[in-house]
Amino acid sequence: MPIQQGLIDVHHHVIPPVFRQAMDRKGIRLVAGAPLPSWSPEKSLKLMNLNGIQTAILSLSAPGTDFGDGASAAASLARACNEYSADVIARFPGRFGSFAVLPTNFPHLACREAEYALNTLGLEGVVLLGSSQGLFLGDPALEELMSLLDQKKAVVFVHPNLHATSIDNGLSIPGFLMEFLCDTTRAALNLIRHDVLNRYPNIRWILAHSGGFLPTLVWRGEALNSFAAEGTDVLTEARKFYYDTALSPSHYSSKVLKQLVPDSQILFGSDFPFAPAPITPLQINTLKNSGVFSEKERYAIHRKNALGLFPQYVQEYEVPSAEVIRRDVGLKEALGISIANFSGRFVERIRSR
């Protein structure tokens, strides 16, 4: 492995063959307006090696495993996807972890799959969609699952989905551009409204894409605290989440996020492969050149904060460094790294004109 110490990517998608087959059977070609990309562990590793990502925590994206075929089908697909991810982890030690996907709409089966994924497969946590078949996180129907995840002190990665109201809104804007952010925001506010973070304090929550619109809505929610459970302070609750930087590394979004939470609650995410390969160096360079975070803070975002959630990836000789520490690499790989870095810097300069 060419990377001695590198980034930890908490927002990196897996597309198991069995999931692609399920999508094909349903005739689903798009995920929130974007084509389901081609993916393999080897494609992820190539991207990771070029961009200094040492470990990627895999997760299944929308629409999850519930295609309306009932509880058994959703649970079986979740099990197959999780076992596939566990196999990828075993084949490439140290390079991948995984959040387990659950049949969320069927809480008893979701609990069973969470137990299996966390206890037997040893996965890093679970991924929950902001909404699934119209059910938002925070809904009282999910109390059994929340209780289990709290007992397990689980890390929960919240990824958006498309709610029916995001699909039938008459807009021609692709869902991944705006409606995904709405779904995450709705879920986060619903978690706050039902006091889930207070009642289940052992769950560590990561919100995708810098929390959608939540950071910009906090003041509004704070001024209208009456919408939440009695005694719940919206700002306090919003500061309990972790936020990833996937597709949200700009100066503007970073500055808002930094004012909301300390840098210790911000994590690096690439959103590969739904974000094409050239977007990863662009995100890294945008974050670096935004002027918002110091070198020490970028090290925390790139690696240190994730190690707090996933201590199994701590190495014997950890070095506080925002830059990637590489082992000796061959000429071909060095050339690829240089091209990736140049591509990111060049696109960032063009965009900044």
Q: Is the pLDDT of residue 22 over 50?
A: yes
Separation of alpha carbons 116 and 86, rounded Å: 12
Q: Is the pLDDT of residue 346 over 50?
A: no
DSSP-derived 3-state class of residue 274: coil
pLDDT tens for 74-106 read: 999 999 999 999 999 999 999 999 999 999 999
pLDDT at residue 337, as a whole number: 58
pLDDT tens for 247-266 read: 999 999 999 999 999 999 99
pLDDT at residue 170, as a whole number: 86
Separation of alpha carbons 343 and 281, rounded Å: 7
**In whole numbers, what is the pLDDT of the chain averaged over residues?**
91
Q: Is the pLDDT of residue 10 over 70?
A: yes
pLDDT tens for 270-303 read: 999 999 999 999 999 999 999 999 999 999 999 9
> Could you identify the residue written with the tokens 């200094």?
52
The DSSP letter of residue 300 is I
pLDDT at residue 345, as a whole number: 57
Total number of domains constituting the chain: 1
Backbone angles phi, psi at 59, to 5 degrees: -155, 145
pLDDT at residue 338, as a whole number: 56
Domain residues for the domain of 325 are: 3-351
pLDDT at residue 353, as a whole number: 45
pLDDT tens for 107-150 read: 999 999 999 999 999 999 999 999 999 999 999 999 999 999 99
pLDDT tens for 208-241 read: 999 999 999 887 766 666 676 677 788 899 999 9
pLDDT at residue 225, as a whole number: 66
Q: Is the pLDDT of residue 19 over 60?
A: yes
pLDDT band at 169 (very low <50, low <70, confident <90, very high): confident
pLDDT over 90 percentage in the chain: 81
pLDDT at residue 86, as a whole number: 98
pLDDT over 70 percentage in the chain: 90
Q: Is the pLDDT of residue 339 over 70?
A: no
* Helical segments of the chain, H only: 17-25, 41-51, 71-91, 107-115, 143-151, 164-167, 179-193, 196-199, 214-223, 234-238, 251-260, 279-289, 295-299, 305-309, 331-351
Give the CATH number for residue 296.
3.20.20.140
Q: Which long-range contacts (CB under 8 A, 24 or more apart) does 310-315 make?
A: 310/8, 310/57, 310/97, 310/124, 310/155, 313/8, 313/54, 313/55, 313/94, 313/97, 315/5
pLDDT at residue 166, as a whole number: 87
